[in-house]
Amino acid sequence: MVEPSRPLRILVYSDNPRTREQVRLALGKRVHPDLPELDYTEVATGPMVIRHMDEGGFDLVILDGEAAPVGGMGIAKQLKDEIADCPPILVLTGRPDDAWLANWSRADAAVPHPIDPIRLADAVAGLLRAPVQ
């Protein structure tokens, strides 16, 4: 369980700075009153995701499935395969019908583009409240 006194660390990956900004704006500083504040780390490349994840300490990972040249779904699968205590992963899919691909990638949740702030916040709050597996 997350310590209530420390901010929740969120890794946000997309090659598109606008997508990263949309995620931050949709979630804000606090996704729900009963959860701690959010602290974002934004990355624009797949190798940087891996580097940050190797360092650890994240409570949630949000990956853009439409990122190029390395898509978030491939990274999600790699992280779930290689990190024993991998934090929850949310993948942003290109469309609602791509949820099956997010499932294949072993992502814990998927939200389609365009980003709906309410849907994203609900998914993130649910993942942050979920007991650690």
pLDDT, tens only, 64-89: 999 999 999 999 999 999 999 999 99
Cα 104 to chain centroid distance, Å, stands at: 16
Averaged pLDDT score across all residues of the chain: 93
Mean pLDDT lowest among 1-10, 45-54, 117-126:
1-10
In 1-133 the beta strands, taken as DSSP E runs, fall at: 8-13, 38-43, 60-64, 89-93, 109-112
Q: State the DSSP code for 98.
A: G
114 cis-preceded (ω within 30 degrees of 0): yes
pLDDT at 130: 79
What's the sign of the alpha-carbon dihedral 14, 72, 119, 116? Answer: positive
**Average pLDDT of the segment spanning 96-104:** 88
Dig out the tokens for 69 from the structure.
């040249």
Is 90 exceeded by the pLDDT of residue 4?
no
Angle at 93 between CA 42 and CA 61, to 5 degrees: 35
Closest CA to 14 of 89, 53, 69, 78: 69
Residue 132's pLDDT band (cuts 50, 70, 90) = low
Exposed, middle or buried, 31 (CB in 10 Å: 0-12/13-18/19+)?
buried
Could you give the domains of the chain?
A: 8-129 (3.40.50.2300)
Residue 131 confidence (pLDDT) above 80? no
Q: pTM of this prediction?
A: 0.93
